Amino acid sequence: MIDFPKPLVPGVYFGLPNDDYHDDRALGSTNIRKLRRSGPDYWYGSPLNPRRPVRKPNKYLTFGHAIHTRVLEGPAAFDKLFECEPDREGLLITMDDLREFCERAGFDKVPRSKAGLIELALKIDKAARILDVIKQRAEEAGRTLVDLDDYERMMIATALITKNPELSTAFMNGMPEVSVVFDRDDGVRCKTRFDYLKPRGIADLKSIRNPLEKDFEQACRERFCNARYDIPAELYLEGRARLPGLVKAGRVFGECDPALLTRIVEAPEFAISFIFFQAEDAPITWSFTLSPGNPILSYAREHIEQAIRTYKQFMDAFGPDQMWVLAKPTEELDINELPGWYGR
């Protein structure tokens, strides 16, 4: 196992664990989007907060992680981390299922606890299909169970991306999950994590739900704006621009393909591509590119600089070891500052 530096120092990282990346204090795009709102919003969820909330896994996070692994790293990496939940036909899930299974085997008196019922069911048939047991075995093997419907969706989405003539090479001939840590000219340390890095581009995979049933491309555009994906795009391109200097300075951590890294360093031009796929209904896809000089990125740059100013202001006021507090004097509420619909 590679011993990566902690805290992370400026450099290009291959194979950096996801938790190591997110636990580092360098500013990533999520941090910057929170700093746009306020310093305390950033501080609360950052490594500066010793009591920051633990990010608990849920169905949507699991789905996102799983589809990223399947598309970016391939089936072998996916099978190492995830396992499809079995077909529920004949699966023993509830206590009633287990009780009925044991009674059918001739046991009139059965345990009252679920653990006892499971133990008895396995004595009756070691191969009994019990959901709790399947989950436990998967966890012991380091795998997460994926809902059967989600699993089928992932397989279809992967096929759509890899067979789409416009997208088939988006996640080929490159390297997944590459991180770049760099110091800005003002000394603020930033970090980026590319879904997939190629010589002339960065590919970023995004899932989207479309509950309002809008035209898919329009739904993607609105998601891009609402989630402010322009900010990570601009930050990623800055990290990509700094990558050659870090490589030439020998600041490379982890294992990579040296020939491919050389091609990346020598590439004269590059851009970022966003590949959206629909996470509900048909797993259709759509993509677009942002290149340096696009006015969308200029708008994002303004907001990045605003966020960095907020970061420096609060860091100067409170430092890294105190809670960041938004202290403003109490003012009289002005009717002109209320929403336009007020009073109508």
Q: Are strands 271-278 and 201-208 parallel, antiparallel or unpaired?
A: parallel
For the CA atoms of 232, 237, 238, 241, the dihedral, rounded to the nearest 10 degrees, stands at: 160
Report pLDDT digits (tens) over 257-285: 999 999 999 999 999 999 998 887 877 88
Residue 202's pLDDT band (boundaries 50, 70, 90)?
Answer: very high
pLDDT at residue 308 is higher than 90: yes
- The DSSP element (H or E) to which 104 belongs, if any, is helix 95-104
Residue 58's pLDDT band (boundaries 50, 70, 90)?
Answer: confident
For each of the domains in the chain, give its residue range(s) and CATH number, in order of start: 11-55+169-315 (3.90.320)
Specify whether the backbone of 187 is left (phi greater than 0), alpha (psi in -120 to 50) or beta.
Answer: left
pTM (predicted TM-score): 0.85
What pLDDT does 123 receive?
94
Q: Is residue 298 a contact partner of residue 291, using CB atoms and an 8 Å limit? A: no
